[in-house]
Structure 1
Amino acid sequence: MKRKYNLKLGVVGTRRDIFSKEDALKYNALILSRLEGMGIDFADIMDVNEEGLLFDEKDVDAIVDHLKKEKVDALFFPHCNFGTEDLVAKVAKEIGKPVLLWGPRDEAPLENGARLRDSQCGLFATGKILRRFQVPFSYMNMCRLDDPYFAWRLDNFLRAAQVVKELDGMTILQIGTRPAGFWTVMINEGELIEKFNVRVHPVSLPELKEEMERVGEQEIGDTIATIRKTMEIGVSTEAVRQTAALKCAMKRLMDRFGCKAAAIQCWNALQGHIGLFPCVANALLNDEGYPVVCETDVHGAITSLLVQAAARGEHVPFFADWTVPHPTNENGELLQHCGPWPVSLMKEKPRFGAPFAFNYSHPGALHGEIRGGDMSIVRFDGDNGEYRLLMGHAKGIDGPKNQGTYVWIEVENLRKLEAKIVEGPYIHHCVGVHADVLPVLHEALRFIPDLTSDYYDTDNDTMDAVLRGE
């Protein structure tokens, strides 16, 4: 069963007395109706005061209490006329969730020269005061409610808020220590908590084995059925059974300790403990929306969750190595790993075998090519107290057959990308997804102050223009 994502939006329309109250009420009703039609889960303030609008100082505490009771994850402040900038700032500051400002495009003045709303002018004022209050916010440019930009831009903000929600309090299950030779996956747990409220819950390999022994026959049988339905089997019946038990054990441990992803020491102590590589078990969990990454790469697990949240679970990510350049395409590159990629991404039924990188010593790896198409490639990483999000686009291309799970991709400028990875703070691991999540992640970073964007094929100004609909 795939993970489900939920996000509740707090909708606080605002007006100011010197402009048309009637027009503000009309637009507030139209806006709430539009949100209902879009299927958005939201809490408004219609029950807080007679108008269902923010305009009076005496309502601020009640509105804040109401939104907290509703457990909103983000705030939307439509300026139904000019709005009341100081009250917007007070509510936003108290709630402390991602904020989106917007106002419906102002109509022409009346024949006598009077203006009903001046929403644009009010947005100018509110943006300034939110800065004074040090409240980070996003802005959706003025438009009509039926403009396609409205639906796309609001959806992008909701996805960005989902990323922020996912990061705050995220816990990663670390199974085993890092492989001794992999200094690249070292992390600073203290900084992850201090900067991002991200926690790591470690368990040992013996604990994992004990959990495997506790898994019930029904769970194992259901997982074996999935394996046999979705994969070509090239290993023993016992290896299939042990892989099923391993998958179930990891899921149970993640659920027990409130973890949304895991990073496992996939070699070489695990082979001594249970005689398996975990790639197939990882692939099954990845397909269910519980990313499990290789080589105890906690930063890789964080990346997977950010990407998956940006896609709202509609596309499953895959955890890959940057490996070798394409033999004939100057901007081509091989993304590959021993076999942990979701089966749902495969071009054809993958083969359940053993990884070539370890001389086929133990069973547990998938072999197959995933589909191409347009992708986003992302990596969360940091060192020396600074953290960045490397992001860019790619598209699948043809290339030579490979072992493990793999796809050949083309990027805009491989030389630039190669230099970025080597010069850091990145390593040879990344996360891919068959969706353009860059606008979502770009917007999310407005609300994550200790994480900065680092693009390999675009830049911040270009991404800002995308959010403006240009």
Structure 2
Amino acid sequence: MEKLVLGYAPTRRFTFSKEDAMKYKQLIKEKMESFGLGIDIVDLEGINEEGLLYERSEEAAIIKKFQDAKVDAVFFPHCNFGTEDTVARVAKAIGKPVLLWGPRDEAPLENGMRLRDTQCGLFATGKVLRRFNVKFTYITNCSVEDPTFERGFKNFIGAANVVKHFSSLRILQISTRPSDFWSVICNEGELLERFGIQIHPITLDELKQKTLKIEKTDTPELLEAIQYIKTTLDWSSVTEENVRRIASLKVAMKQLAAETRSTAIAIQCWSTLQDLIGIMPCLANAILTDEQIPVTCETDIHGAITSIMVQAATLNTHPTFFADITVRHPENPNGELLFHCGNFPVSLSVEEKPKLNKHFLFDDHSPGTHEGEIKGGSMTLARFDGDHGEYSLFLGKARGIEGPFTRGSYVWVEVNDWPLWEEKLVKGPYIHHSVGIHANVVPVLFEACEYIPGLTPDPVDPTEQEIRAWLRGSDLNKPSMVVSQ
């Protein structure tokens, strides 16, 4: 995955201390780098001797530098009062997510003079950004070492990465939706017009031809996929030929995604594919999802969109899993089963060697499902969906719990108030499909929606008020706050 590129434009104003502004420019950059996020930072060194934004005559050079570097977001830390009009013009020209923050001011000197007046400048810049119709993220004015800064910065970087991947999203659609699945109907034209999301459709016959062609070869890519399956899974229930075909299908799907420059796949996983090549695609889906190419079942385009957003919220460091929200826990009133036939990433399995099996629902019992329970812990569940021209992003957090054995890929989870979740999911615009990830990224996805016109965040737990309080740092002295990162 490409790294996120951050434009770093620390700013000052001539009437305040240049020396202190330069000191904080360095302190802030060192702090950002200490977070270990793996981002590329493009600063203003070379624009002037200070590496600071303050001269209006240098505005064009700053814009060009950021545009040439193809920055994905811009951070304008106010190292003293700052130059609000230039900040706004640069932000407007770049057109990417903007982070506004400044380090908390020290007490006045003994002679009554103040060196920075950073907070005052933040008020001014916020107003001017609004005048320029620039969306921006704000972190509470605090010290460089304050946990609020680290929390807000990391959250912004995650949100900017979501926006980056969302804005360049192309989905490989393998065949139409199954005829019985009216719930996954989507408006392809509206997705393109509203969000710029492209869909590249191909037929199952195209996938079949490519799979069978690859199967006859011994390319390193195919041999690696076969070896992965044999080493990682218990494949005793299927044949050597089954393993080779499943591996060939995985390689074919990955190549088709690369050829079409797609970052996610939505596939008609049953039942025509089994008639064509005699296998289920579940394990192939699982392996690709582990490789950061999420695959959704039943040609669920909105599910694929969700998967890319959720994956990007972790800076592409965690795999997603695509699940049916299925049945309530037999004993826990807030418990629910997340399940699918056999597509959850292998890396999430609780078993040392999870089972490669034959499908347990369809009459042909074709091989290719990856079955077993996945690990619990803290998770985020999300769903991008819409109808009647309105789109929203369902957000909630859950934790894994004990529950009875079931077939397929599964995990039992507990949420704060299941009847509330159920009401929201049934009344829509959502369906039974969701995307899970083992990370708390609700605040990241919530913030990302600020930069995606036409997409409304719809958090159920934590609430919008709790998310905003957490981002402000209001919970640091209030142990009762529930959101964690």
TM-score band w.r.t. shorter chain: over 0.9
- The aligned length equals 467
Q: CA deviation at 1:402?
A: 0.3
Partner-residue secondary structure (3-state), 1:456: strand
**1:311-346: CA deviations, max 9, x gaps?**
122221100001111111111111100000111101
Q: Does 1:376 align with 2:376?
A: no
In the aligned structure 1, how far is the partner of 2:302 from the partner of 2:339?
18
In the aligned structure 2, how far is the partner of 1:28 from the partner of 1:370?
45
Q: Which moved more, 1:354-363 or 1:297-306?
A: 354-363
Pairing of 1:17-416 with structure 2 (within 5 A)? 17-39=14-36, 40-215=39-214, 216-218=217-219, 219-233=221-235, 234-348=237-351, 349-359=353-363, 361-416=365-420
Partner-residue secondary structure (3-state), 1:149: helix
TM-score, length basis structure 1: 0.97
**Preserved CA contact (<8 Å) 1:5 1:312:** no
Unmatched runs of 5 consecutive residues or more in structure 1: none
Partner-residue secondary structure (3-state), 1:29: helix
**Preserved CA contact (<8 Å) 2:151 2:471:** no
Distance 1:418-1:36 versus aligned 2 partners, 3 A rule: closer
TM-score, length basis structure 2: 0.94
In the aligned structure 1, how far is the partner of 2:243 from the partner of 2:80?
64
Letter in 2 for 1:340: N
In the aligned structure 2, how far is the partner of 1:379 from the partner of 1:128?
34
Q: Which moved more, 1:320-329 or 1:150-159?
A: 150-159
In the aligned structure 2, how far is the partner of 1:359 from the partner of 1:329?
33
In the aligned structure 2, how far is the partner of 1:343 from the partner of 1:304?
17
Partner-residue secondary structure (3-state), 2:406: coil
Partner-residue secondary structure (3-state), 2:361: helix
**1:291-320: CA deviations, max 9, x gaps?**
111000011011111111101222211000
Q: CA deviation at 1:359?
A: 3.9
Aligned mate of 1:431, from 423, 435, 438:
435
In the aligned structure 2, how far is the partner of 1:303 from the partner of 1:295?
15
**1:69-122: CA deviations, max 9, x gaps?**
111110000101101111110000000010000101100011121111110000
Letter in 1 for 2:389: G
Partner-residue secondary structure (3-state), 2:80: coil
In the aligned structure 2, how far is the partner of 1:58 from the partner of 1:325?
63
**Preserved CA contact (<8 Å) 2:101 2:139:** yes
Partner-residue secondary structure (3-state), 2:106: coil
Distance 1:392-1:37 versus aligned 2 partners, 3 A rule: closer
**Preserved CA contact (<8 Å) 2:321 2:345:** yes
Letter in 2 for 1:389: L
Q: CA deviation at 1:375?
A: 0.7
Q: CA deviation at 1:383?
A: 0.6
In the aligned structure 2, how far is the partner of 1:31 from the partner of 1:182?
51
State the match for 2:470 in structure 1: 466
Letter in 1 for 2:25: N
**% identical aligned pairs:** 55
Letter in 1 for 2:427: E
In the aligned structure 1, how far is the partner of 2:126 from the partner of 2:303?
35
Q: CA deviation at 1:288?
A: 1.0
In the aligned structure 2, how far is the partner of 1:443 from the partner of 1:454?
12
Q: CA deviation at 1:224?
A: 1.2
Partner-residue secondary structure (3-state), 1:267: coil
In the aligned structure 1, how far is the partner of 2:433 from the partner of 2:173?
17
**Preserved CA contact (<8 Å) 1:136 1:447:** yes
Unmatched runs of 5 consecutive residues or more in structure 2: 475-485
Q: Does 1:13 align with 2:10?
A: yes
In the aligned structure 2, how far is the partner of 1:190 from the partner of 1:62?
38
Partner-residue secondary structure (3-state), 1:364: strand
Q: CA deviation at 1:5?
A: 4.4
In the aligned structure 1, how far is the partner of 2:11 from the partner of 2:424?
45
**Preserved CA contact (<8 Å) 2:333 2:418:** yes
Q: CA deviation at 1:360?
A: 5.5
Partner-residue secondary structure (3-state), 2:207: helix
**1:13-58: CA deviations, max 9, x gaps?**
1111222222212222322333344454201112112221111211
